[in-house]
Amino acid sequence: MMNHTTKKSDIKLAPGTLITGKWYGQHYQIIKLLGSGAQGTVYLAQSSSGRVAVKFGKDRSSLTSEVNVLRRFEKVQGEPLGPSLYGVDDWVCRSGKYNFYVMEYIRGTSLLDTVKVRGFEWACIFMLQLLGDLDRLHKEGWIFGDLKPENLIVENATRRIRWLDVGGTTLMGRSVKEYTEFFDRGYWGCGSRKAEPSYDLFAAAMILIYAAEKRRFEKNQQPQKQLFDYIRNQPKLSRFESVLTGAIAGKYTTAEMMKKDLLSKMSETSSCAIRSTNRSRSDRHQRRRKRKSWTGTVMLTVVLAAAYIIYLMIGVM
């Protein structure tokens, strides 16, 4: 296997290109580009056993680190976290030798696209599951690091969140090297980049903020206050103010704690909406002028109640 660590530029392969592993002789025919990042390029390919994702690394050390993380993921009990690892090999071509690994191709929809179709309440549902998965990872001594919507996919078959890019996964106690500014507490002046559970939980809170606004925004001169004010003034987020501000301020030491508080707030909101609806129904004939407000409450009740029931059904606890 190749042992130098010289960085390569992104490898560009045309559809139909046949990749043959140097060491194990397996064939992979390129179908299309799936994505490219700081540590390499991922292609969808056809193998003898079906469609797979093939990642070419820019250097061997980074690729080896990701392979070790995927192997670690396979040992974590419970539902799978990231894609299954199928193999590691080299490809020799005219332009040189490239390291690559082959992993499961997860068929699904991006988290943000799912939320756009199903509504913000589903972002909260998936966040419960994500926090449970993070708790399992943290107990193994790792943090995800570069946690952002682009690295999360809702699998079609299971309707569960799966993790895609594991390049930022870091052993606890070390410094996070790969991150995205908007989801990084260091950028917002809310803590260091030390790998610890609270680093991931800050990013989790920022994912909900992003899901509510559907855009990223720049920080101002008082970034933490800016985030707190934004949460307080955003109707979709204000219901979860104590949870989100707690995560941003680093008050949660485990993902399980944040998960329980988020679930509690979701339950509170649903209960309050139901009580409000019952009161509205009892005197709706006397309050025709407020019909629009009542209708809004009913819709909120239906959405929250349905979301909570689905949450229980999909077993994210």
- Please tell me what DSSP assigns to residue 119: -
How far, in whole angstroms, is CA 111 from its chain's centroid?
7
Q: Whole-angstrom Cα distance, residue 210 to residue 127?
A: 13
What phi and psi values does residue 226 have, to the nearest 5 degrees?
-60, -45
The two tokens of residue 292 are 């629009």
Catalytic residue among 89, 135, 146, 261: 146
- The C-alpha R_g of the chain, in whole angstroms, comes to 22
* Contact (CB, 8 A) for 248 and 202: yes
Helices (H), 168-254: 197-213, 223-233, 235-238, 241-248
Query: How far, in Å, CA of 223 to CA of 229, rounded?
Result: 10
146 is catalytic: yes
CA atoms within 13 A on the CB side of 22: 13
Number of H helices, E strands in the chain: 9, 11
Residue pair 246/258 in contact (Cβ under 8 Å)? The answer is yes
Task: Give the 3-state secondary structure of residue 20.
Answer: strand
Compute CA 167 distance to the chain's CA centroid, rounded to the nearest angstrom: 13
The CA–CA distances, whole Å, from 238 to 31, 115, 141, 232 equal 44, 18, 32, 5
- For the chain, the distance separating the N- and C-terminal CA atoms, rounded to the nearest angstrom, is 43
> In a 3-state reduction of DSSP, which class is residue 50?
strand
Supply the residues annotated as catalytic: 146
